[in-house]
Amino acid sequence: MVHSAFLSSTIARTAPVLLAAGLVLAGCQTGSEPMVNAIALDADQGSDQNLASLTAAVNANPRDPEAYNVRGTAFGRSGQNAAAIQDFTTAISLDPNFYQAYANRALIFRQTGERLKAVEDYNRALQINPNYDSAYIGRGNIYRLAGRNREALVDFQRAIDLNTTDPRAYHNRGLLYQLDGQHNQAIEDFSRAISLQSTAAEPYSGRGVSYLALGDVENAASDFSAALRIDQTKAEYWVNQAILLERQGDRQKAYRSYARAAQLDPTYAPAKDGMSRTRA
């Protein structure tokens, strides 16, 4: 049986950003938690057709907790959070030691802003299996977003000590090192995350921020370009590129990148501030 925490394909949207007139470092604490290595369903796993197939499997095996866990994953993929929570809860009632279902439900609670419930579920998963790296990473990310950085670091380190192959552990620990000004260590962690999943934009962006903080403009430019090659939809990436261009004195190109960021996210203050600074 394949059990795993659900949702996937990119690392958590917490890309660091270089901010303000002084171009100082800051972390952008945004958004969702992708890249929890997922049950390997097809790209249309949240489609009506796929859900119908998974419901048929549940109806055929109503005492099988795995059937509910897999369908809960698909509900989560499709944004049907209440249905996902119900399926994970049913899986847990059928198998109280189903630690993966606890972690899956925790992620849904995280997505719906119920962080206390999410932490409780991660705690329960780790009580059942103290070596479950995904639960440490998930709980650590909740702690990080809550500003409980010491506890977050402990959880990411625990996952790494367990030899996790999940790039989120390294990426998120890199964010904490970066926040603490430990840019060489952050670069090492972002590089490790990239080696584990080279198709994710976030660690390139994060590593570029640390390179630029250390004055390594060439590597910063390369990483910011790599992030944008992978994903051109994030305002943070355009702002990072714009700040680099601004620092190099190319205000015209910097303005265009700031403007693109503002187009993607009209409420994003670093983009608007950058446009004001570089407007011809």
pLDDT at residue 37 tops 70: no
Fold type of domain 41-113: 1.25.40
CA distance 113 to 119: 11
Q: Note the pLDDT tens digit of each residue in 109-162.
A: 999 999 999 999 999 999 999 999 999 999 999 999 999 999 999 999 999 999
Structural domain boundaries in the chain: 41-113
CA 85, 86, 91, 92 dihedral sign is positive
pLDDT at residue 278 tops 80: yes
Kindly tell me the burial class for residue 185, based on how many C-beta atoms sit within 10 Å of its own C-beta (0-12, 13-18, 19 or more).
Answer: middle
Q: Kindly report the average pLDDT of the chain as a whole number.
A: 87
Structure tokens at 147: 């500003």
Q: What is the pLDDT of residue 40?
A: 35
CA distance 8 to 91: 21
CA distance 120 to 27: 26
pLDDT at residue 9 tops 50: no
Of the pLDDT bands very low, low, confident and very high (cuts 50, 70, 90), residue 11 is very low
Q: Note the pLDDT tens digit of each residue in 164-213.
A: 999 999 999 999 999 999 999 999 999 999 999 999 999 999 999 999 99
Alpha helices in the chain (DSSP H): 48-60, 65-77, 81-94, 99-111, 115-128, 133-145, 149-161, 167-179, 183-196, 202-213, 217-230, 235-247, 251-264, 269-278
Q: What is the pLDDT of residue 44?
A: 54
Structure tokens at 161: 């000590």
pTM: 0.84
Among 10-24, 36-50, 188-202, the range of highest mean pLDDT: 188-202
The label of the residue with tokens 């203050």 reads 269
Q: Note the pLDDT tens digit of each residue in 51-85.
A: 999 999 999 999 999 999 999 999 999 999 999 99
Our CA dihedral for 134, 138, 144, 147, rounded to 10 degrees, sits at: -140
